[in-house]
Amino acid sequence: MKNYTNNSFSHMQALIGGHVSLKYPQKLYLDITQDCNMNCIMCRDKITASGKTMNLDLFKKIVDETASYVSSYSLFNWGEPLILKDFRERVEYLGSKKRKDATIDNEGMFNDLYPTKIGDYVWDGNDYCHVSNYFIDRNCNAPFVSASIGYNGDIYLCCNVGDLVDNVNEKSFFEIWSGERYDTLRKDVNNVNLMPDRCKNCAWFNR
């Protein structure tokens, strides 16, 4: 008997249409810096210190708008936030604004290192197993439940970038999240003819 992978239910959300999404994402990645003092082979080929760090005022603007709704924040994506001198100030500010049940983590980075598919093997939540044992669902629901905001305010579909949606410097996050372009891209990520290039080979959604 074949089983469904443990993320198949989430993937089915992707089938219900671009206009069906949460008022705000459950998960928000704030890439507060792209600088990094590490040299991880799966991420980049050199240590970078370019000063690409999110302005504190922009950080507070995003937090002020989203903190009442978002249930989980990750203060990283492509950089190492712990090198920032004001990292503690940012965490304390977010902690003072967020919902009591919301989480702030960097631990999610390690969970995100487990793609749902590698070659002919899929992640079942505990281990990688051969695809012959599973029904594989390749639909992506990430743009319905999460978003990633770069150090400069650019909003992307997911933590793996996907595609650029808009920039939050001159607009509210809600305006962008509920806008026409976001709805279009939510549909496109599961259309083999329209999906962004980064989506075509996404290991996190069995591509």
What are 126-179's pLDDT values in tens digits? 677 777 776 666 778 888 889 999 999 999 998 888 899 999 998 999 999 999
pLDDT-wise least confident of 36-50, 65-79, 164-178: 36-50
Query: Which tokens go with 195?
Result: 């999906």
- Of 8-17, 32-41, 72-81, highest mean pLDDT: 72-81
Confidence grade of residue 19 (pLDDT, cut at 50, 70, 90):
very low
Q: Which residues, in sequence order, are CB contacts of 114 under 8 Å at separation 6+?
A: 123
- Interhelix angle 87-97/56-66, rounded to 10 degrees, is 20
Helix (H, G, I), strand (E, B) or coil at 63: helix
Q: What is the pTM of this model?
A: 0.78
Q: Which two tokens stand for residue 22?
A: 């949460």
Residue 35 tokens, joined: 């600088």
pLDDT at 118: 66
